[in-house]
Structure 1
């Protein structure tokens, strides 16, 4: 990092020549003046939230009366190292210092400041996505998916809300012990911070590239690739990029790389039969519902959907909300009522259910008439659950289903073993029949496997 920035400065690639002094002994020491910081802010400008820029200034130069006119290069390097590869204590130091406080185990951190810090990280990450030329990012943006300011703020709030206490009524301050536990368990914040600082420090630059232009972000691993939207010029996007990042970050890692579009009421119409025909045997999936009040929620189904009288799925399943707040409710293992699907039966409910009991599900989508749904007040299948929709019974404004991960390979052994080349060409069979020719391979088919 030292070599990279010193080379840029020596070659005068910035618009102004900075006031710089540096020496080289056992280690390289660089003094970065405020003038250089302003140049870095110009360099980072399109990709950084203004609040984060101020937090970085606090970390590098201090805050209040303790503010220094210069910063040692080691301090500049620590900002990157602590955020990307740092221990929990080092990351705590970054947060305290960025918020203008000295780290002390006895000092409580105001929750409002922590929430704004998380929002600045999320906002910067989204700015990087918007400026990216990555095909993965473009696959969403070209179909109308955006990152609105309100949803970016909601994602930042969701990241901060898990610091302790009631998710919907957080305490006014958090202790150092709570912050330490939060940093150990909050995988999403760590991933966001790592991507942000890798980009800000230009670590993903190709060797020899000295251009001071804004950098494209590193591989946006938090955003999956979009598969199946290519043939739709005008996709009516219901969810936001912030929603996708939120839900995707809670999926098992093996499913996070790709979302496969399966069904949307806005595209395929309001038909339960059409929906089930498009989602059955498609592997694990995410169902997303928007009710008539604008609440957006859904669930992750771990098993492929299929008709049957029994519940299926595993304890990796979860329910979630995207609006008005982003929350996730993981499985309790109290029961295994993760997912259920049935249609055209007389003795069992016809519809789609996730969690809870018949008539009291976390998510219930009625088969007939399609478009009606319900979300119970309580659901023992998922921990911390609260009703997902605004009202217990609701009208569906929009419903989408996305397969996650790679499409499962279907078992075609039986069909393939029982086919000859003429089976795939009915016109050729008809011509042979008309000519009175014998199809010698008709009775010579491979026996099915035992």
Structure 2
């Protein structure tokens, strides 16, 4: 990293397999000859891309994709952005975004962020990130790929999109090594090296771009395994209620779990379905394997913890250092163990002398509080 070249300085070699290149070429042929296609031979226009995508992606993201393609400068070609997208530009942009390393991805992402040459402002990266997160929620909803994570709203609420975008941006480091810590940093310059480093350390950005391309353009869909990104939500037959989590929150939490826990999540207990009895909770969550505990308080804050092993009702601490706490609203964050002690999990009930309640990594939620608090409590 730190030695990025422009697309015009690199000799482009497609990274698609032959069968993948055939599918890419087929889509280009559709775009260049279909409704809204360009009058220029062997190219396509923004109108053609919008006509193909239709309602699957927000218009802002379609325009960003199109602009990044037409701004590709291939070796030996005329300089400056072209008016339409050629086959070579189309293939190069998609190859870098889907198959490239962090340096190659950053060359196209930089063009998606802004048309201006040179460094971009952090506020421009923020707007791109918010558009990207919004597009993921939009296309997954449009293609009906939510895998059971439905809410009362048609799409994820703006607060969730902004929280995830803010979390992704918090990992960005500027030239001086400082991280993006809030609005006061929006005026900072981000050069090509900063963007490349960000893509390297925050794989969610590349993953979200692949979702937008695969599901938005309906291209190379077999390359995207949503089952590893979004666990299937299972609720007992005959029971249904809207989850506290939306699909963006689920994707974020799921990425912090071990691979064997990412395929399917089964609801064990909810105050909406099973009441606010602590003894009911204890009876339903014990000996069920690793588990996520999720709470929403009366102020709308959503938080919880991951237990690495089965809960047991006993007066001893349980678990190991793979347990963690998390926050979903008003901000998304994961808090791993500090090594200060081994107080990872605790669940006890009905004892006269020992503490009763549920504790995760040193934070306790007593049974009396559960009975009195009207919050949602899901596991």
Give the TM-score of the pair, scaled to structure 1: 0.69
1:52 has 2:61 as partner: yes
Aligned to 2:230: 223
Given candidates 311, 326, 347, the residue that maps to 2:353 is 347
Number of corresponding residues: 343
Question: Tell me, what secondary structure is at the counterpart of 2:167?
Answer: helix
Aligned to 2:254: 248
Q: Structure 2: how far apart are the matches of 1:119 and 1:176?
A: 19
Q: Structure 2: how far apart are the matches of 1:197 and 1:181?
A: 22
- CA shift at 1:132, angstroms? 2.2
Question: Tell me, what secondary structure is at the counterpart of 1:230?
Answer: coil
Change in CA separation of 1:272 and 1:281 when aligned onto 2, cut-off 3 Å: same
- CA shift at 1:101, angstroms? 5.2
Q: Structure 2: how far apart are the matches of 1:339 and 1:299?
A: 9
Given candidates 122, 135, 143, the residue that maps to 2:133 is 122
Q: Deviations over 1:158-178 (max 9, x none)?
A: 222221456753633345554
Aligned to 1:260: 266
Question: Tell me, what secondary structure is at the counterpart of 2:205?
Answer: helix
Q: Structure 1: how far apart are the matches of 2:278 and 2:221?
A: 49
Q: Structure 2: how far apart are the matches of 1:369 and 1:33?
A: 61
- CA shift at 1:16, angstroms? 5.0
Change in CA separation of 1:177 and 1:311 when aligned onto 2, cut-off 3 Å: farther
Q: Deviations over 1:326-365 (max 9, x none)?
A: 1121223333221111112233221111113xxxx2xx21
Q: How does 1:393-412 map to 2 (within 5 A)?
A: 395=373, 397-401=375-379
- CA shift at 1:301, angstroms? 1.0
Q: How does 1:281-430 map to 2 (within 5 A)?
A: 281-356=287-362, 361=363, 364-371=364-371, 395=373, 397-401=375-379
Question: Tell me, what secondary structure is at the counterpart of 1:259?
Answer: strand
Q: Deviations over 1:126-177 (max 9, x none)?
A: 122112245xx35333888852233223222222222145675363334555
Q: How does 1:136-151 map to 2 (within 5 A)?
A: 137=146, 139-141=148-150, 146-151=155-160
- CA shift at 1:261, angstroms? 0.4
Q: Structure 1: how far apart are the matches of 2:301 and 2:293?
A: 14
Aligned to 2:17: none
1:232 has 2:232 as partner: no
Is the Cα–Cα contact under 8 Å of residues 49 and 62 in structure 2 kept in the other structure?
A: no
1:132 has 2:167 as partner: no
Larger mean Cα displacement after TM superposition, 258-267 or 113-122: 113-122
Q: Deviations over 1:212-260 (max 9, x none)?
A: xxxxx86354221011243114x14322222222212221221111110
Unaligned segments of structure 1, at least 5 residues: 22-30, 207-216, 373-394, 402-450
Larger mean Cα displacement after TM superposition, 286-295 or 43-52: 43-52
Change in CA separation of 1:38 and 1:255 when aligned onto 2, cut-off 3 Å: same
- CA shift at 1:53, angstroms? 2.1
Q: Structure 2: how far apart are the matches of 1:70 and 1:146?
A: 32
Q: Structure 2: how far apart are the matches of 1:99 and 1:205?
A: 25
- CA shift at 1:189, angstroms? 2.1
Given candidates 166, 189, 198, the residue that maps to 1:182 is 198
Q: Structure 1: how far apart are the matches of 2:58 and 2:369?
A: 47
Aligned to 2:49: 40
Given candidates 30, 43, 46, the residue that maps to 1:8 is 30
Is the Cα–Cα contact under 8 Å of residues 276 and 370 in structure 2 kept in the other structure?
A: yes
Give the TM-score of the pair, scaled to structure 2: 0.80
Q: Structure 2: how far apart are the matches of 1:316 and 1:184?
A: 24
Is the Cα–Cα contact under 8 Å of residues 53 and 217 in structure 2 kept in the other structure?
A: no
Larger mean Cα displacement after TM superposition, 315-324 or 178-187: 178-187
1:157 has 2:166 as partner: yes
Larger mean Cα displacement after TM superposition, 83-92 or 189-198: 189-198
1:194 has 2:231 as partner: no
Given candidates 257, 260, 277, the residue that maps to 1:271 is 277
Aligned to 1:110: 121
